[in-house]
Amino acid sequence: MALTLSSSRRWRCELSVPPAQLATLRLLANRGHSEDVECDSTLASVAGMEKKGSKCKRLKLVLVVGAGGIVCELLKSLVLTGFSHIELIDLDTIDKHVGRSKAQVAKESVLQFHPKANIIAYHDSIMNPDYTVEFFRQFILVMNALDNRAARNHVNRMCLAAEVPLIESGTAGYLGQVTTIKKGVTECYECHPKPTQRTFPGCTIRNTPSEPIRCIVWAKYLFNQLFGEEDADQEVSADRAAPEASWEPMEAEARVRASNEDDDIKRVSTKEGTKSVKRKPLVPLDWAAVQSQGEEINAADQQNEPQSGLKDQQVLDVKSYARLFSKSIETLRVHLAEKGDGAELIWDKDDPSAILCHLCCKPQDAYFQDEYEEQI
């Protein structure tokens, strides 16, 4: 099918729905009722609609299963591209909202920027016997966003029995892939055994991050090396004993950058560090130049800051991420100092400072990866 989901120019998952057919699907989703519409046989097959002459009939709603990290982006993308009749189901609660249903919180978040969206949220398990084959048959499309293998198998089987197309977009650790499943047309989710989770050697991650996933793992390793429990297998700078951990306040971020980026990038760009890979030398960021631009950029950002809407949907350049990284390092340094000598910080997805540190250093590592992959 040709629907493209992209978080960057290098991370792309493609389903194949031609633009004209996608427009028809959006029209159907907005109506939310059974209605005759113009369509061809391909769209009828994909959407599971009954074709009579040039007309197709049958549309109810779109079902989204799961309300975790994937759905934060999925729901936003669905409503902003025209799908406004959605049912959402998830069993879990969310800590930030004091045990409230994830599905309900996701619904309320979407309605903040798309008040006209018609979203029904269920705080329940999709494996509940109440959700029968007939329940699944009322949807034109089911989208899976689960990290649970048993639940994914269950939804796969129910969609096959109901003959409803399934877009499987769940995750398993760092692994994530979007696939389209249509009975009689494609393989199903259980056609092939799923591989066990891979591990990623620290030497590969710090020296040649040739995949986006390795940039994510690299960022996690960096946090642990600076603030958490020492692990020689997860060091992102193996050639030194991390002198930046002494935390001289005025030099902290510069020393972190010099230790974990500049020197290491220069080292792996030498002939000794690239025996098995042909590539041009990588050029590290000029950290002094980034720092000198900070005050000027911050003043401009304050003037241009949006007053409403999706404030976290800004597209930043690498130097902007570097400046935010500097701020996050200082905040985490203060948190560590408050805990006293010998204390450690544990990376927590609900800690804004830890997330910001991870978010900001990952694109910088990916920046050098981009330069690397463009050269091979």
Is 203 among the residues known to form the active site?
A: yes
Q: Are 139 and 164 in contact (CB under 8 A)?
A: yes
Q: Is 181 helix (H, G, I), strand (E, B) or coil?
A: strand
Which helix (H) or strand (E) segment is 354 a member of?
helix 352-373
DSSP string, 210-243: -SHHHHHHHHHHHHHHHHS---GGG-S-TTS--G
Q: How many CA atoms lie within 13 A of 352 on its CB side?
A: 4
What does the chain come to in residues? 376
Catalytic residue among 159, 203, 357, 361: 203
Burial 328-364 (b: 16+ CB within 10 A, else e): bbebbbeebeeeeeeeebeeeeebebbebbbbbbbbb
Using CB atoms within 10 Å of the CB of residue 22, give its burial: 0 to 12 exposed, 13 to 18 middle, 19+ buried. Answer: middle
Tokens of 206: 């710090």
Q: Which helix (H) or strand (E) holds 98?
A: none
Angle formed by the axes of helices 318-339 and 212-227, to 10°? Answer: 30
Tell me the backbone φ, ψ of residue 173, rounded to 5 degrees: 65, -120
127: exposed, middle or buried (C-beta count within 10 Å: 0-12, 13-18, 19+)? Answer: middle
Cα angle: 367, vertex 369, 373; to 5 degrees: 125
To which residue do tokens 């025996």 refer?
275
What span, in angstroms and rounded, lies between the C-alpha atoms of 89 and 144? 10
CA–CA–CA angle 66, 83, 131 (5° rounding): 40
Cα–Cα distance for residue pair 222/188, rounded to 1 Å: 38
Tell me, what DSSP letter sits at residue 47? H
Q: CA-CA distance, 93 to 103, in Å (whole number)?
A: 8
Annotated active-site positions, please? 203
